[in-house]
Structures are given as structure tokens and as C-alpha cells.
Amino acid sequence: MIFHYSNKRYIFSVFFLSIHLFAPFANPLSFSFPQFDSGSNKIHYAGDARLSYTKIELNQQLGSPCVGRATYSEPLQLWDSTTSLLADFATHFTFTVNFGDSPNIGDGFAFFLAPVGYPIPPNSHSGNLGLFNKTTNLVVSQNHIVAVELHPCTISSDSLCVSYFLNYYLISRYMAV
């Protein structure tokens, strides 16, 4: 399509005007936790999770079935139900996995997005990572959740790797990212 110079100026003006009209309605959200402290109520701990000095420990006991969860305490709007538009977001995190001297290295953990109040299902330890259980893991209507799963794997007898999975609605061990 060919535009005349005057049409380009008009299109640019409309675009520029629309940016300035709608920009004030955006509600940017940003938060950072360089460390965690007991005086903050921004993180909610559930199950076996607890604050240990300035770090979060998701499980306190090695070798027994545990489920711990730390979640941001305020709702984040990632979808506008009126316009059906999704928000863009970026996240950066650092974590340390400490297996101690235990040969049982566990099932892993997940970073997840879920509806506010999404509970830890009973009997959701081990491979369900505190997100699903045998009753709920195939019920799509109950699992409106997106999770990035990290779990240890052994490449050889003297090395350890972490494999990554992106799970949408269901736990699926076949959707490797």
C-alpha cells in the first residue's frame, strides 16, 4: 500500500496521540526481594516453607515427603477480562539447591502462576510439587496454573543437572523447554 506524505503524518499523529491518551491508564507493577526478612508481610509461607535468616527454605526435612510454598501475598492482574489482553511481564530470580549429604535428592520445585488462594492439595508431595495430586492432576477446570518446574536429574554417577519443564494446566513430563 502506498501512502502520501500527508497520510503518513496523520497516521503518526493518531499513533502518538493514542499512546499519550492511554499511557496514564497503565498500572505498572514492580517488586524486588534482594533478601527476605521476618518483618515483611509480602511473602506468604505455607506447608513446610519457612524463613531462615534472609532466605526461604521450602522443605525442612530431608528424606521425608514435604511440601513447602512461598507466594507473593498480593494479587497480580495478568489478564484483563474486559479486553482479553494479557500483560507482559519479566521475572528474574536466583536460587540455590542444597542437597546436603543426602543421596535422596528430591523431586524438585516450581515457580508458578495460579489464581489467588490456590491451595496446596492434600497428598501433593513428590513429583506433584505441591501443585496437584492424583485426584486433581488431570482435571483441567481445577488447574488454571502455569508452572516452570525445576528438578534434579543425574547424567552420570558424578554429575548433576537440572531439567526444566513448562507446564500449562496439567503436569506433563513430556513438554521439556
Q: What is the pLDDT of residue 107?
A: 67
Residue 18: pLDDT over 50? no
Quickly tell me which residue has 507473593 as its cell: 72
Residue 50: pLDDT over 80? yes
Integer Cα distance of 17 and 49 in angstroms? 49
Q: What is the pLDDT of residue 53?
A: 86
Determine which helix (DSSP H) or strand (DSSP E) holds 7, and give its type and residue range: helix 5-22
Question: Of 55, 69, 64, which Cα lies nearest the Cα of 102?
Answer: 64
The stretch 64-78 carries a mean pLDDT of 82
Question: Of 3, 28, 2, which Cα lies nearest the Cα of 14?
Answer: 3
Is CATH 2.60.120.200 the right assignment for the domain spanning 5-168?
A: yes
Q: How far is CA 46 from CA 59, 120, 130, 139, 164, in A?
A: 11, 8, 10, 23, 24
pLDDT one-digit tens code per residue, 95-117: 776 666 665 566 677 888 888 88
Integer Cα distance of 87 and 44 in angstroms? 23
Question: Of 129, 148, 146, 128, which Cα lies nearest the Cα of 137?
Answer: 128
Q: What is the pLDDT of residue 99?
A: 64
pLDDT one-digit tens code per residue, 140-153: 666 677 777 776 66
Residue 17: pLDDT over 60? no
Q: What is the pLDDT of residue 105?
A: 60
Amino acid letter for position 2: I
The structural domains of the chain, with segments of one domain joined by +, span 5-168
Specify the 3-state DSSP secondary structure of 15: helix
